[in-house]
Amino acid sequence: MNYTILAIESSCDETAAAVYSSTHGMLSNHLYSQAFLHTPFGGVLPEVASRSHLEKMPIIIQQALDTAGCTLNDIDVIAVTHKPGLAGSLLVGVCFAKSLAWATNKKLIGVNHLEGHAFSAQIENDIPFPYLCITASGGHTSLYLVHDFGVYDVLGQTVDDAAGEAFDKIAKLINLGYPGGPIIEQYAAAVDFQDFFSYPRTKKSSFDFSFSGLKTAVLYDLVKRNAYILETKQFTQASNILLQQQVASSLLVCISDIFIDKITYALKQFPQVKAVAFVGGVACNKFIKRKLQALCLQKNIPFFAPSPQYCTDNAGMIAFVGHYKAHKGEFSDLSLDILR
């Protein structure tokens, strides 16, 4: 059976819609990013996010249909992110999806946002199973052993902050703005991705991640360095920028080392693994990608990361999961609720 799926994603600060077809693949993938609305606050303001979703959702859905060259009549299934995320934001997407499904008598599928990320590298690549998948985003950091579409074990997760959250919080600490990941990468590039401050790495022989200690270590280190700068009256605009670059670079190297350690440990534990995938917003980071690619090359194992449009939050990945769920007959009914 062929399906054409319209997907809706609104779990955080991106209003997104996409159309995926069994016969033609991804037909459209549209997005409205609210990031600029939240930048002045250094993080996402939930009520601002919900209101913006409410305003932009019909426009983005129409754009996704137009680009795909179809109307609602051509759609068989409405897929929607229903967990996890900001409650108010999820509610807007789920309400739109349920209303559309009810009014047009279409099938409905609730999709787990994290499953969307975990399979996002499959949209553009044929990845052999089983593969290891590191998902690193602003809200989540997990390691999966993926056996098949929709079939995976969660090997480890962050016990506190997510990797993207560490970039965002530390960027805020050194006055670089939100979202932190892209600007940290830019500042780190200016000093050649060197490790200046050797921030602490987490335990190697574990699948779980922890980033809040890293944040505290950066904070204490900064307090010490700033006290020294004040004492020796060395503060200038240039020295401040250099310090921001050195923190950014040391942080990036530290986080990439943590990922390298996790993959190395997991490959040892699961020799049957045939590939490694790196997904989520943090997978936009070219430096970390290069490091992981080099590791996989050395281990003689293929490495995959989605193109940036499928790394950060997007509806394409939700449509893709919706599509294989439709084939498995995993439909939801109109009682579909959100789960934070």
> Left (φ > 0), alpha (ψ -120 to 50) or beta: where does 182 sit?
alpha
Under a CB-based contact definition with an 8 Å cutoff, are residues 262 and 156 in contact? yes
Least gap, CB of 317 to ligand KG4 (angstroms): 10
Piece in contact with ligand KG4 (CB under 6 A), picked from 178-186, 211-219, 242-250, 324-332: 178-186
User: Residue 264, Cα to own-chain centre: how many angstroms?
Assistant: 22
Least gap, CB of 181 to ligand KG4 (angstroms): 2
Nearest residue to 59 via CA among 20, 32, 28: 32
Binding footprint of ligand KG4, residue count (CB under 6 A): 19
Return the one option of Zn ion, ligand KG4, none that residue 306 interacts with (CB less than 5 to 8 A, by type): none
Could you check whether the bond before residue 130 is cis, i.e. omega within 30 degrees of 0?
yes
Binding-site string for ligand KG4 from residue 257 to residue 296, where x marks contact by CB under 6 A and - marks none: -----------------------xxx-xx-----------
Binding-site string for ligand KG4 from residue 301 to residue 330, where x marks contact by CB under 6 A and - marks none: -----------xx-----------------
**CB count in 10 Å sphere of residue 50:** 18
110 or 164, CB closer to ligand KG4? Answer: 164
User: Residue 96, Cα to own-chain centre: how many angstroms?
Assistant: 23
Three-state secondary-structure class, residue 143 = strand
Least gap, CB of 97 to ligand KG4 (angstroms): 19
DSSP 332: B
Three-state secondary-structure class, residue 190 = coil
Nearest residue to 249 via CA among 218, 210, 213, 204: 218
Residue 96 interacting with ligand KG4 (CB under 6 A): no
Residue written as token pair 């996409």? 18
**CB count in 10 Å sphere of residue 116:** 28
13 or 313, CB closer to Zn ion? Answer: 313
Under a CB-based contact definition with an 8 Å cutoff, are residues 326 and 7 in contact? no
Least gap, CB of 70 to ligand KG4 (angstroms): 26
Q: What are the counts of helices (DSSP H) followed by strands (DSSP E) for the chain?
A: 11, 10
Binding footprint of Zn ion, residue count (CB under 5 A): 2
Burial of 333 (0-12, 13-18, 19+ CB in 10 A): exposed
d(CA 257, CA 158): 16
Query: Binding to Zn ion (CB under 5 A): which residues in 120-149?
Result: 137
Q: Which of 9, 115, 161, 185 binds ligand KG4 (CB under 6 A)?
A: 185
Piece in contact with ligand KG4 (CB under 6 A), picked from 86-94, 177-185, 241-249, 263-271: 177-185
Residue 164 interacting with ligand KG4 (CB under 6 A): yes
168 or 323, CB closer to ligand KG4? Answer: 168
Residue 313 interacting with Zn ion (CB under 5 A): yes
117 or 325, CB closer to Zn ion? Answer: 117
Residue 249 interacting with ligand KG4 (CB under 6 A): no
Under a CB-based contact definition with an 8 Å cutoff, are residues 266 and 130 in contact? no
* CA angle, residues 25, 133, 138, in degrees to nearest 5: 90
65 or 311, CB closer to Zn ion? Answer: 311
- Those residues whose C-beta lies under 8 Å from the C-beta of residue 149, and which sit 6 or more positions away, are 119, 122, 324
Least gap, CB of 216 to ligand KG4 (angstroms): 18
Return the one option of ligand KG4, Zn ion, none that residue 9 interacts with (CB less than 5 to 8 A, by type): none
Return the one option of Zn ion, ligand KG4, none that residue 130 interacts with (CB less than 5 to 8 A, by type): none
Residue 122 interacting with ligand KG4 (CB under 6 A): no
Residues that bind Zn ion (CB under 5 A): 137, 313
Residues lying near ligand KG4 in the complex (CB under 6 A) are found at: 12, 137-139, 164, 167-168, 179-182, 185, 280-282, 284-285, 312-313
